[in-house]
Amino acid sequence: MLDERKVKLMTRLALYEQTQGKEDFKISEYYRKDYAGMHMLFSFFWVTIGYVCVVALVVLAGLQPLLDKMSMQLLVTLGVIVIVGYLALVIIYLIITSHIYNKKHRDARQRVKRYNHDLLKLLKMYEKENR
């Protein structure tokens, strides 16, 4: 005879494995710091590439007025603005990335723990049945 609780539990386990489980199992293989650090590193590289592209476009767009007013003081000022803007953007972006991926890892680990707990419940049900 079929046990309704067992069927519901197996259905919930199978549904989780087919939906969120695939990604959660991959995420939970990493330590939280390693997972967040890896994504922060990728974010750093992409922010750097994007910032260089934007600065290059701005410089190309305003090259003629820049050459007309060329002075050492202007170049130093623009250089400082570009560097400070880059550092501020990278720091803000890395803080946001760290927060997002730490939360994502924590949530995935909680779901995997709940999945493992449900597996243990199912195993105990089978052990009771076989006695």
Residues in contact with 91: Cβ distance below 8 Å, sequence separation at least 6, in sequence order: none
86-125 pLDDT, tens digit per residue, is 999 999 999 999 999 999 999 999 999 999 999 999 999 9
- Domain map of the chain by residue range? 37-130
Query: pTM here?
Result: 0.82
Q: Which amino acid is at 62?
A: G
Give the position of tokens 């069927």: 7
